[in-house]
Amino acid sequence: MADISSHSSQSLPIVKQKIGRDDWTMRAFMVVIAIYLVVALALPLYVMMSKSFETYRFELDRFEIQVDKGDGWSDVTTVAALNQQVNAIGADELATSSDGRLGITKLFPDFSFRSKTNYRLRNIAGSDAVFLIGSERVAHNEWVKLSSNDFRRVVLRPSPSTGFDNFRTYFSTPALFNSVYNSLAIAFIVTVITVSLAFAFAYALNRSCMRYKGVFRLIAMAPLLVPSLLPGIALVYLFGNQGMLKELMFGYSIYGPIGIIIGSVFFTFPHAMIIINTSLALSDARLYEAATSLRTPRFKIFRLITIPGARYGLISAAFVVFNLVITDFGLPKVIGGQFNVLAVDIYKQVIGQQNFQMGAVVSVVLLIPALIAFSVDRYIQKKQVALLSSRSVTYQPSPSKIFDRQMFAYCTVISLIIVTILAVCQYAALIKFWPYDLSLSLSNYAFDLMDGGGWDSYRNSIKLALLTAMFGTIVVFTGAYMVEKARGFENGRTVFQLLAMMPMAIPGMVLGLAYIFFFNNPANPFNFIYATMAILVVSTVTHFYTVSHLTAVTALKQMDNEFESVGASLKQPFYKVMGLVTVPVCLPAILDIWMYLFVNAMTTVSAVVFLYSSDTTLASVAVLNMDDAGDVAPAAAMGMMIFYTNVGARILHAGLSRLLLKKTQAWRMR
Amino acid sequence: MKLIKKTTLASLFSGLMAGVAVFAMSSSMAVSAGELTVYTAVEAEDLKKYAAKFNEDYPDIKINWVRDSTGIVTAKLLAEKNNPQADVVWGLAATSLLLLKSEGMLEAYSPKGVEKLDKKFVDKSTPPAWVGMDAWVASVCYNTVEAAKNNLVPPKTWKDLTKPMYKGMLIMPNPNSSGTGFLDVSSWLQLFGEDGGWKYMDALHENIARYTHSGSKPCKLAAAGEIPIGISFAFRGAKSKAKGAPLEIIVPEEGVGWDMEATAIVAGTDNLKDAQTLVDWSITKKANVMYNAGYAVVAYPGVAKPVKFFPENLLEKMIPNDFEFAANNRKRILTEWQKRYDGKSDPK
């Protein structure tokens, strides 16, 4: 590995070439994939943003009214003018949502539905101003005569316009903006806990000589293979009112912040562990040698060398965890009880109340912390790359009986917790009727009798995962290749990089909602993919684009650009070099991307929950829906099916990697 | 090699979208005669039976179901307002259909034999925009085992539920995300009056452990002993009871709110003739007998036979529900509810 990069430092200056056919082809590919990202990401987000400014108001000056109290019709007046006289409808009542209705009897303080008074009402703005008599819609411009008994059934409907009204409503409704505080608080607490736990775990893996490191590492990765809401189900079985260990809650309820925090720590743990593990593995042994020879005490070494050395990893892990928690939707939905968080609010607004505009507003609000966390993380990662360029010697831990035992004990406890949570889910899935009939049965696997799509949804999920992994890997790797290996075209490459980084900052819920707005529009030429498997594939590839892209870029950066130069000077087209050299060399990375996309497509809920149709129900969404309907045990059963599928895919991946590595990566051995 | 590479790369963008186009087109294209796209919220296990019964009489009309929960189907229909995909809605809450009606999305149609139905089950307009199938009635699911553990006495009335003895023992659906939750709230406002209704809910809120997103969950949680009392609907309770849960289904004496599953034709369908045939059939005696398998109260008078595990006095306890009131005040009620009870959900 090391020899590739050391060669490049002595490489000859690359001969400047004219822009040839190859370059044009490569640029064309880059543009095509950039357009993909624009269509699948930038445009939907733009449409969603504009949706949040789409407001509905009762326009009182668009309705005219007349009264007859038995002495002939009064003068025609607009409802607005009438309201100015009696001041019955406040300005804050005029801003509403698309579903708004406004009764107008309060404009007449002496109104009685028994009186003989007659009313006449008409709209003067055409179909832009509609009123209802009961549920009957009146959109024409003629006068409508109404008895007082009918008049009390009249409600005005709002007219669409644009403005900041939705945001004003949002921030003046405590039930809504409290979620901002809740989400931030939860994300912060989880970040502190997860990073501390993951640091200790990674420290044990790197700095001790304890046994079974491989086993611990495998177990720590397991939460990656299940949907984030699965730990929620396990927690209900453990600590719910009928839970096996409910005494441990000391009367507190698991439904709410406590449950969200425990579950979030579970599903974010591997993410933090991977990042911190990498940064610990990279620290320089020479520093430790120097410190030891200076007889520095152990805790001082830890404070002055270990922590600073891993600081970028720690910060990066913190932001990743923060982002994951604040954008997660499944877990708070399952175990959040009444504790509102932003991601669930979006779902409630859109699915519960069909208030798409307010859903878009919450999405915009959710974007802000996610964007900040993301940009800080990017900034720090750049610094970390700079740190890596120093030529360090890898640290080799030396055995220490007490320390190794302590670390072993710690890792055992953490691993036991992870295994317990998964085991509880499996156990729950096999119990006939918890807690009254504890006999074992497979009846919870009869998914076809439950909400959520049955076994079809499991098959659909596998189809989605395979398609996502296949198309995603091709798109991502090609994009990364073009951006890394194309010559010149600096501006284009910068724009592309920016586009490729964006998906990471977009919460899945926001992406899903944006897709509804964008693709469900009949005027959109891509409208035909709405409610098909294709839109699920596109959204999933886009949602997980960034990490895959970075993996591909890292792998490509390891390869000297000289290969392309040599190829070009031998008058070989770029795809020949790509096919014969680059792809085989990068095969491990390509397989990793494939695996990453597969696993995430199996477990993701947030983006696809708005996009699946009855033909394309998914296993992960089925877990959510079955739990929602109260079929908790079948939900656990389906969750574990996802887990086993992912484990199977992982094993296959490991086997395949080993085989391919032997064939294609022999050159890496010295 | 060259060829393979080219093809692979060419399929990147266009392939991703257009490659599936054929499949996509077939499902989104206008439905030909003899086929109907029907949106529904009827339980998944019943759909095959419904279609089969209909096809006994009309074997030439194929039904393509699009099924989801009430909230999602309604959201879907509204989202597709300018480009409707459905021909018929068969089995969606009347409250939702009223919403669609006021958006002008339903085709008014007076099905053959509509005069035979119970008036309560037919839209008031002439011709009606929708016709009802069966009622879906609020009830209280009471877990006798857990109640005994907590020394509870079974409640007889809604008012009983506000007694201090039930503190933390109740779960009900959140009206902001569940139709069942909304029918509870709107029925209390109709039963106790606007002020009395809110006062009642203030007291009830003190006893509620938490609000769920779905309407069937409170009953399933009560069935599983996770909570002693779940405010839900009778159909769900009866199903759980049939599965062996230690449940008693209580119909509070003041009367219970209800909604109905109903049928309507979507305005602008290009298959009006078949849509009308389906709606005609959906109100026949035969169809109502079929609905009666799961629901104790159906639209066709004299058809309903008692359903096992259903409380017997259900029909007489149903309040004269004012659907128009519920639909036209929905937004106001939900905002008020959210202000009173949702904002309070502080971390404990």
Residue B293 has pLDDT above 90, yes or no: no
pTM to 2 decimal places = 0.87
Listed residues A416, A441, A466: the one ending a domain = A441
% of chain B surpassing 90 pLDDT: 58
Least reliable range by pLDDT among A281-285, A326-330, A493-497: A281-285
Can you give the three-state secondary structure of A506-526, one letter per residue?
Answer: CCHHHHHHHHHHHHCCCCCCC
In a domain, B165, yes or no: yes
Tell me, yes or no, whether B235 and B205 share the same domain: yes
More confident residue, B254 or A586: B254
Residues with Cβ within 8 Å of residue B260, at least 6 apart in sequence:
B93, B94, B121, B132, B133, B134, B135, B136, B299
As a whole number of angstroms, the distance between CA A164 and CA A55 comes to 8
A274 to chain B, closest Cα gap in Å:
31
Strand B88-93 with B35-40, pairing: parallel
In a domain, A498, yes or no: yes
User: DSSP letters along A271-320, please?
Assistant: HHHHHHHHHHHTSBHHHHHHHHHTT--HHHHIIIIIHHHHHHHHHHHHHH
Residue matched to tokens 């302590």? A406
DSSP 8-class letter at A441: -
Tell me, yes or no, whether B330 and B236 share the same domain: yes
Cβ atoms of A291 and A301 closer than 8 Å: yes
In a domain, A314, yes or no: yes
As a whole number of angstroms, the distance between CA B38 and CA B84 comes to 11
Six token digits for residue A287 = 């520093």
Residue A209 has pLDDT above 90, yes or no: yes
Residues with Cβ within 8 Å of residue A475, at least 6 apart in sequence:
A33, A36, A541, B12, B13, B16
Six token digits for residue B301 = 């008078």
% of chain A surpassing 90 pLDDT: 53
Listed residues A162, A194, A217: the one ending a domain = A162
Split at pLDDT 50, 70, 90, the class of A468 is: very high
Residues with Cβ within 8 Å of residue A651, at least 6 apart in sequence:
none
In a domain, B47, yes or no: yes
As a whole number of angstroms, the distance between CA A304 and CA B122 comes to 78
Tell me, yes or no, whether A220 and A127 share the same domain: no
Tell me, yes or no, whether B162 and B278 share the same domain: no
The predicted pLDDT at position A10 comes to 54
Six token digits for residue A553 = 């870029």
From A473, A549, A543, select the one nearest A512 (Cα to Cα).
A543
Six token digits for residue A49 = 């943003």
DSSP 8-class letter at A461: H
From B344, B341, B327, select the one nearest B186 (Cα to Cα).
B327
| Count of all residues that appear for chain A in the document | 670
Cβ atoms of B88 and B130 closer than 8 Å: no
Tell me, yes or no, whether B179 and B197 share the same domain: yes
- Residues in chain A with CB shorter than 8 Å from the CB of B226 are 236, 240-242
Listed residues A441, A469, A500: the one ending a domain = A441
Tell me, yes or no, whether A606 and A626 share the same domain: yes
- Residues in chain A with CB shorter than 8 Å from the CB of B78 are 354
In a domain, B23, yes or no: no
In a domain, A8, yes or no: no
| Contact yes or no for B328 and A236 at CB 8 A | no
Range 25-64 of B in CB contact (< 8 A) with A: 25, 27-28, 44-45
In a domain, A435, yes or no: yes
| Contact yes or no for A339 and B2 at CB 8 A | no
Residue B170 has pLDDT above 70, yes or no: yes
In a domain, A168, yes or no: no
Q: Domain of A372?
A: 178-441
Classify residue A247 as exposed, middle or buried by CB count within 10 Å of its CB (0-12, 13-18, 19+): exposed
User: DSSP letters along A519-586, please?
Assistant: HT-TTSTTGGGTTSHHHHHHHHHHHTHHHHHHHHHHHHHTS-THHHHHHHHTT--HHHHIIIIIHHHT
Tell me, yes or no, whether B206 and B327 share the same domain: yes
Tell me, yes or no, whether A455 and A376 share the same domain: no
Residues with Cβ within 8 Å of residue A594, at least 6 apart in sequence:
A469, A470, A472, A473, A653
Taken in order B171, B174, B179, B181, is the CA torsion positive or negative?
positive
Tell me, yes or no, whether A415 and A455 share the same domain: no
Tell me, yes or no, whether B210 and B236 share the same domain: yes
Q: What is the CATH number of the domain that holds A332?
A: 1.10.3720.10
Q: Is A149 on the interface with B (CB under 8 A)?
A: no
Residue A7 has pLDDT above 90, yes or no: no
Tell me, yes or no, whether A76 and A102 share the same domain: yes
Q: Is B217 on the interface with A (CB under 8 A)?
A: yes
Mapping DSSP to helix (H, G, I), strand (E, B) and coil, where does residue A233 land?
A: helix
At B53-106, the pLDDT tens digits run: 999 999 999 998 888 778 778 888 887 888 788 999 999 999 899 999 999 999
Residue matched to tokens 């079955």? A626
The predicted pLDDT at position A18 comes to 64
Tell me, yes or no, whether A220 and A266 share the same domain: yes
Q: What is the CATH number of the domain that holds B76?
A: 3.40.190.10
Residue A33 has pLDDT above 50, yes or no: yes
The predicted pLDDT at position A385 comes to 57
Tell me, yes or no, whether A664 and A541 share the same domain: yes
Residue of A nearest to B212 (CA): A337
| Contact yes or no for B17 and A534 at CB 8 A | yes
| Contact yes or no for A255 and B220 at CB 8 A | no
The predicted pLDDT at position A9 comes to 47
Tell me, yes or no, whether A314 and A367 share the same domain: yes
Tell me, yes or no, whether B141 and B128 share the same domain: no
Split at pLDDT 50, 70, 90, the class of B33 is: low
Range 338-357 of A in CB contact (< 8 A) with B: 338-340, 348, 350-354, 356
The predicted pLDDT at position A639 comes to 95
Tell me, yes or no, whether B191 and B296 share the same domain: no
Six token digits for residue A131 = 């009123």
Burial A97-136 (b: 16+ CB within 10 A, else e): bbbbbbbbbebbeeeeeeeebbbbbbbeeeeebbbbbbbb
Tell me, yes or no, whether A306 and A353 share the same domain: yes
As a whole number of angstroms, the distance between CA A653 and CA A597 comes to 12
| Contact yes or no for A533 and B27 at CB 8 A | no
Cβ atoms of A123 and A104 closer than 8 Å: no
In chain B, how many domains are there? 2
Residue B20 has pLDDT above 50, yes or no: no
Six token digits for residue A48 = 């969603």
Residue of B nearest to A572 (CA): B2
As for the ipTM of the complex, it is 0.82
Mapping DSSP to helix (H, G, I), strand (E, B) and coil, where does residue A63 land?
A: strand
Which residues sit opposite B261 in a β-bridge? B93, B134
Tell me, yes or no, whether A453 and A415 share the same domain: no
Residue of B nearest to A526 (CA): B17
Taken in order B317, B323, B324, B328, is the CA torsion positive or negative?
positive
Q: Is A175 on the interface with B (CB under 8 A)?
A: yes
Classify residue A440 as exposed, middle or buried by CB count within 10 Å of its CB (0-12, 13-18, 19+): exposed
Tell me, yes or no, whether A298 and A260 share the same domain: yes
The predicted pLDDT at position A173 comes to 86
As a whole number of angstroms, the distance between CA A6 and CA A4 comes to 6
In a domain, B21, yes or no: no
The predicted pLDDT at position A1 comes to 38
Split at pLDDT 50, 70, 90, the class of B18 is: very low
DSSP 8-class letter at B300: S
User: DSSP letters along A334-397, please?
Assistant: HH-TT---HHHHHHIIIIIT--HHHHHHHHHHHHHHHHHHHHHHHHHHHHHHHHHTS-PPBP--
In a domain, A292, yes or no: yes
The predicted pLDDT at position A523 comes to 85
Tell me, yes or no, whether B252 and B146 share the same domain: yes
In a domain, B16, yes or no: no
As a whole number of angstroms, the distance between CA A629 and CA B212 comes to 10
In chain A, how many domains are there? 3
Strand B229-233 with B170-173, pairing: parallel
- Residues in chain B with CB shorter than 8 Å from the CB of A478 are 9, 12
Split at pLDDT 50, 70, 90, the class of B5 is: very low
Q: Which of A351, A356, A460, A515 to mutate to test the interface with B (most CBs of B within 10 A)?
A: A351
List phi, psi (to 5°) of B271: -135, 55
As a whole number of angstroms, the distance between CA B128 and CA B123 comes to 5
Tell me, yes or no, whether A295 and A157 share the same domain: no
In a domain, B42, yes or no: yes
Mapping DSSP to helix (H, G, I), strand (E, B) and coil, where does residue A627 land?
A: helix
CA-atom Rg of chain B in angstroms: 23
Range 468-507 of A in CB contact (< 8 A) with B: 471, 474-475, 478
The predicted pLDDT at position A13 comes to 62
Q: In what order do the strands lie in the sheet with A118-123?
A: A77-78, A63-68, A118-123, A144-147
How high is the mean pLDDT of chain B? 86
Tell me, yes or no, whether B113 and B252 share the same domain: no
At A142-167, the pLDDT tens digits run: 999 999 999 999 999 999 999 999 99
Tell me, yes or no, whether B90 and B194 share the same domain: no
Tell me, yes or no, whether B224 and B264 share the same domain: no
Q: What share of chain A is helix, strand, coil (3-state, %, to 5)?
A: 70, 5, 25
What does each C-alpha distance from A53 to A123, A356, B242 come to in angstroms? 25, 11, 50
Classify residue A70 as exposed, middle or buried by CB count within 10 Å of its CB (0-12, 13-18, 19+): exposed
The predicted pLDDT at position A667 comes to 65
The predicted pLDDT at position A79 comes to 93
Size of interface A-B (CB pairs under 8 A): 223
Which residues sit opposite A161 in a β-bridge? A55
H helix or E strand, kind and range, residue A2: helix A2-9
- Residues in chain B with CB shorter than 8 Å from the CB of A97 are 331
- Residues in chain B with CB shorter than 8 Å from the CB of A174 are 339, 343
Q: Domain of B169?
A: 136-257+322-342
Six token digits for residue A423 = 């085991």
